[in-house]
């Protein structure tokens, strides 16, 4: 009976090394998962902001068309073929320079006049397909950690009047 208690009193060096190795492997896996999750969250935030900015570009062109109707102008006045940039409150499209959008921290809106620089560049491309149809493509591009990303939204605007 004495030999039984003496043999099972503690862990051997090999058992301790195996236990520490298993804990280290588990900790490394958890740390890797957390790091990957943080990277994916920032990527999701970028894609969400870019998607909203792309849709905003389409809305700007749509608002210009609707404003033309209300002012009894030609429905596609100010929407000629080409590449443009415009802020959320623009009544017209400006020439495309590849400028980065600025984020105004007070209003929370993106524009080109004031605010903190962002990573986003928006290009609004207009193509007149016929006398009653426009194709508008709004593309937002950005770069993170050396990788280029872009999201595009496309819409066709018609002369309903």
DSSP H or E segment with residue 75: none
Higher pLDDT, 41 or 57: 57
Task: Give φ, ψ of 102 to 5 degrees.
Answer: -110, 140
Length of the chain counted residue by residue: 161
Greater pLDDT, 143 or 43 = 143
Indicate if the pLDDT at residue 48 is higher than 90.
yes
Cβ partners under 8 Å of residue 136, min gap 6: 57, 58, 61, 62, 79, 124, 125, 126, 127, 154, 155, 156, 157
**Tokens representing 13?**
């060096």
Instruction: State the average pLDDT over residues 81-89.
Output: 93
pLDDT of residue 95: 92
Evaluate if residue 6 carries a pLDDT over 60. no
Decide if 65 contacts 75 (C-beta within 8 A). Answer: yes
Beta bridge partners of 111: 102
Q: pLDDT value at position 14? A: 86
Q: For the whole model, what pTM was predicted? A: 0.76
Q: Is residue 3 predicted with pLDDT exceeding 90? A: no
Percent of the chain exceeding pLDDT 90 equals 64
Q: What is the mean pLDDT of the chain?
A: 89
**pLDDT value for 134:** 95
The pLDDT > 70 percentage for the chain reads: 93
Confidence of residue 120 (pLDDT cuts 50, 70, 90): very high
pLDDT (0 to 100) of residue 13: 82
């Amino acid at each position: 009976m004495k030999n039984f208690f003496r043999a099972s009193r503690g862990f051997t060096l090999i058992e301790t090394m195996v236990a520490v190795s298993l804990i280290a492997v588990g900790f490394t896996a958890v740390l890797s998962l957390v790091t990957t999750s943080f990277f994916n969250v920032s990527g999701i935030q970028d894609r969400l902001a870019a998607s909203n900015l792309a849709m905003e570009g389409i809305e700007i062109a749509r608002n210009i068309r609707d404003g033309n109707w209300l002012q009894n102008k030609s429905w596609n006045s100010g929407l000629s073929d080409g590449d443009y940039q415009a802020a959320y409150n623009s009544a017209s499209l400006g020439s495309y320079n590849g400028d980065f959008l600025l984020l105004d921290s007070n209003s929370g809106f993106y524009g080109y006049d004031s605010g903190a620089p962002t990573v986003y560049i928006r290009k609004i491309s207009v193509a007149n397909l016929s006398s009653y149809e426009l194709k508008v493509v709004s593309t937002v591009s950005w770069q993170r950690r050396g990788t280029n990303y872009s999201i595009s939204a496309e819409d066709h605007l018609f002369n309903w009047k």
